[in-house]
Amino acid sequence: MSSLGPAEEIDEAKERAHFQAVVNAFKYYKLCSLDRIHKSEKIISTLPQSHQRRLDKYKTYLTKFKKCLDVNNAVVHMIIKDVDTMFENVDHSMADAANSNGTNTESFGCNYNNCEITSQKQHKMQHDVEKVQSVLKNIVRDWSEDGAAEREQCYKPILDEIEARFPPDEYSNRAHVKVLVPGAGLGRLAWEIAARGYTCQGNEFSLFMLFASNFILNRCPEANAHTVHPWVHQYVNHATCEHQLRAAAFPDAPPAAPRAAAARRARFSIAAGDFLKVYTEPDEWNCVATCFFIDCAPNVIEFIERIYAILRPGGYWVNLGPLLYHYSDMPTENSIEPPYDILLEIITDVGFEILKERTGVKTKYAQNPNSMMQHEYDSVFFVCRKPYL
């Protein structure tokens, strides 16, 4: 057996540390989320008695928020159960001692009861916990009835286009059509593609998303068996406290139901890792479907070139989403942000034929439907083809 070199050992150590940091973020979800409620309670306790009296009803809701965190925390701990061995041939379990709750308190210099975290580590922990909170909102977007409207906006145009490009009268066995969904998130779009008979693989880089998708796709055999309160962390722009308490059941379609799982096992999968590192085989896919994905690259041209390379001649690239360019304002990242008109020129220069494109497609992303503030994108939608040689 060959030993790892210094660079490989460092990379493996970094991956293991990152894996454990993500696990810890899930474990500390409730503790850090409670801090926000305690802050409100503390502020109220310093107000004049007349003000406190006028906030009595709100204080009762703060208590209800804590109960919502309990519900969410139960789901969060189900998500991370057995994640140490969720990837083939990889065991990310740590040798560090853990407390009775399975929480490695030494990793963050934190006392589990009073969360005495140093300021730098506290900021990092809070940032990671916010990602866990975002996962809960994405569960609603992808796997609840409450997310159906967003999925209609974002996924249906892609699904319709794939069916139009690979119709049943020309493709009697759709399993021969291979579709890739990079940036698959919690896997609903890829699952829906496979449900239509195509062979589909989702690809996701974020461990936060991978942990949650593993739970939903593999360990949720019953419809709407679980509940989350996705908006309990949002403290502004509510018309009523009940909106902040609102619950959502999931999964609306149970992907791990025995019949559904058996039907899709041969043609549906999720691959973990960096898109550019995982997909290097040329001419492999009949279709690449991207939704809210291409602006996740520091250099979007690399994504375009790779999509072109891995598509078979005559294959299609279907895309929908905005151009948020996630790395744009990160001082440690080198990011380019071409506007849509220049992006289209780059796409054609790489070699694609643009078959269809439109702008102003109204889309939302994990949006609270009852919030006084609504974020909506005027997204772009296009369909490209890699020419036959």
CA distances to 74, 306, 338 from 297, in Å? 34, 12, 12
Q: Is the pTM of this model over 0.95?
A: no
Domain architecture of the chain: domains with CATH: 6-128 (no CATH), 146-385 (3.40.50.150)
pLDDT score at 8: 61
- Spatial separation of the C-alpha atoms in residues 301 and 294, rounded to whole Å: 9
Tracing tokens 């690809």 back to the chain, one arrives at 203
pLDDT score at 106: 27
Phi, psi torsion values for 270, nearest 5 degrees: -125, 130
pLDDT score at 96: 37
Q: Considering only CA atoms, which of 360, 338, 363 is closest in space to residue 349?
A: 338
List alpha helices for 222-377, DSSP H: 241-245, 258-264, 275-278, 300-310, 340-350
Q: Considering only CA atoms, which of 186, 146, 152, 132 is closest in space to residue 369?
A: 146
Low-confidence spans in the chain with pLDDT less than 70: 1-10, 88-122, 258-266
pLDDT score at 92: 46
Q: How many CB atoms lie within 10 A of CB 359?
A: 11
Would you list the DSSP string of 241-276?
HHHHH--EEE-SS-TTSHHHHHHHTTTEEEEES-HH
pLDDT score at 109: 26
pLDDT score at 328: 94
Would you list the DSSP string of 161-220?
HHHHHS-TTT-S-GGGSEEEEES-TTSHHHHHHHHTT-EEEEEE--HHHHHHHHHHHHH-
Phi and psi based region of residue 109 (left: phi greater than 0; alpha: psi -120 to 50; beta: remaining): left
pLDDT score at 262: 56
pLDDT score at 124: 77
pLDDT score at 168: 85
Tracing tokens 């790892």 back to the chain, one arrives at 4
- Spatial separation of the C-alpha atoms in residues 256 and 191, rounded to whole Å: 11
pLDDT score at 265: 65
> In the chain, how many H helices and how many E strands?
14, 9
- Spatial separation of the C-alpha atoms in residues 34 and 42, rounded to whole Å: 12
Give the tens place of pLDDT for each residue, 82-112. 898 887 545 444 333 333 333 332 222 222 2
